[in-house]
Amino acid sequence: MSTDTWFTFFALLTVGANAATLVLWAVALAALVNDRIHARWARARDVLGEIGLTVAALVAVVATAGSLYLSEGAHLVPCELCWYQRIAMYPLAVVLVVAVARRDWNVRPYALTLALAGPVISIYHYVVERFPDLELGATCDPNNPCSITLIWKFHYVSIPFMALSAFALVATVLVAARRPDPWVDTPTRDD
């Protein structure tokens, strides 16, 4: 597959992540004013409580793999802000995979810290791509400036937007999921 085909594939994954994030937030907000939607939202939160860690881990792992492909497969040199986003995403993927293996929802505050710090950098990077004059001081290497847009798909998807979308979906899933009750469905010696 050509690199442009991969870029389009990553952009389509980004659009899917955006759609999933928007749907989750729209249903959550609608649940505040509609009892029928509230009941469905409660069921959705229960389902996310069962599969949410896996979904969040999958999103973070795919984002990490995509990031590695962009630098190692497509030979795009990451700028300084890209590295900062990687600093949040790569450990997020590892932490969530370990949490899935252990079925450990206690990871939520740590994962959310990374999933909420990353978008701050992504948003700034996206703005700098659109408006290079807003780059603060000497943040980026003049030979590899953060203002260069290496990928531009669908008139809005760039590399920092891809990262932002992954962070947003991971954070949304982790916030929306109702943590499973550890005392329910736990086998006992009397069963």
Domain ranges across the chain: 3-176
Tell me the whole-structure pTM to 2 decimals: 0.91
Q: What angle do CA 154, 57, 16 make, to 5 degrees?
A: 20
> What's residue 138's pLDDT?
58
Q: What angle do CA 6, 8, 14 make, to 5 degrees?
A: 105
pLDDT less than 70: residues of the chain: 137-139, 181-191
> What's residue 186's pLDDT?
44
Which pLDDT tens digit goes with each residue over 84-110?
A: 999 999 999 999 999 999 999 999 999
What does each C-alpha distance from 163 to 34, 64, 150 come to in angstroms? 33, 9, 14
> What's residue 187's pLDDT?
44
Range list of β-strands (E), the chain:
none
CA 183 – CA 41 distance, rounded (Å): 22
